[in-house]
Amino acid sequence: MRLFLGVDGGQSGTTALIGDEAGRVLGAGCGGPCNHAAAAEGRRKLVRAVGDSVAAACAQAGLDPNAVHFAAACFGMSGGPEDKQAILREILPADAVVVTDDAVIALAGATAGEPGIVTIAGTGSIAYGRNAAGRAARVGGWGYIFGDEGGGFDIARQALRAVLRAEEGWGPPTALAGALLGATASADANEALHRFYTPDWPRSRVAALAPLVDEAAMAGDAVARDILHNAAQQLAVLTSSVRGQLWNPGEPARVAWTGGVFRSRMLLDRYRCLVELEEGNRTGPPEYNPAAGALIEAYRAAGLQPRLSGVPALK
């Protein structure tokens, strides 16, 4: 039996799926985060996360992790593949090893390997697409200093900026003040600002405050609503830019979304409305998760296109 492996390696955790030649998922497993590998500790973390997730998937599939050999494996890695390729090829027994970034596997999962566009908005943001001719394009993903518009960190940053303006008297009052100060145990906005510059508040923790903006907006706060609408606008612009590079005007294009930011119903509704204004776009939720997308890309590397079955509902 030929076996195939798909791995989604990210900032919050690593997920592995093992499938057979017919596309049936045999096992799934999880490990720790593995987004950085440059330093010695990063390499150890990567090896441990991949080893743990693959071993757990093997256990569920009834396979010996020390004896398994894969026909093809695909790794979609947060932070890019460049510093991880040599390590993964060294530790994984496989005939073909593909190491790519997380946007590629997110698209493959979202569209089940078909052409289309996926817009990702978690801590940061990026849009990625591939058309029927196999041509690909990506927009955004520049990081929190130069980009990531519409991502969770950016939404939380815009919320704190609004609270700072209100506190200093040059912005409208907003319920975000009480929400952010309570969540950060701060006496005022300036104290919250300084907390965000400390190691205790990494970007992922700041981004986790974004749902507070959604709660305030749903309760009727105009400032919070404007922040969400602006984030949706920026994400729609990323999508439109990818479309313009890969599809002709009016040509049908499938568009999906993924990431925690899209859990906001207000933001998602606004995003879909804006994207669907462009003729030819057809929006819908992702069909599979990124780990399944990595498995699809592993099959693609072996020249196969089976329809997946038995994919678990993984986060």
Q: Is the pLDDT of residue 39 over 60?
A: no
pLDDT, tens digit, 9 for 90 and up, residues 197-227: 999 998 889 999 999 999 999 999 999 999 9
pLDDT, tens digit, 9 for 90 and up, residues 98-116: 998 889 999 999 999 999 9
Q: Give me the mean pLDDT over the 61-70 stretch.
A: 89
Say what the pTM is: 0.86
Residue 123 near residue 258, CB atoms below 8 Å: no
pLDDT at 288 (0 to 100): 93
Q: Give me the mean pLDDT over the 260-272 stretch.
A: 96
Burial profile 1-37: b = 16 or more Cβ within 10 angstroms, e = fewer? eebbbbbbbbbebbbbbbbbeebebbbbbbbebbbbb
pLDDT at 34 (0 to 100): 74
pLDDT at 193 (0 to 100): 92
Spell out the domain ranges in the chain: 3-112+289-301, 113-286
Q: Is the pLDDT of residue 51 over 90?
A: no
pLDDT, tens digit, 9 for 90 and up, residues 280-303: 999 999 999 999 999 999 999 999
Q: Is the pLDDT of residue 315 over 60?
A: no
Domain 113-286 matching CATH 3.30.420.40: the answer reads: yes
pLDDT at 36 (0 to 100): 62
CATH annotation of 3-112+289-301: 3.30.420.40
Residue 291 near residue 106, CB atoms below 8 Å: no
DSSP 309: B
Residue 212 near residue 183, CB atoms below 8 Å: yes
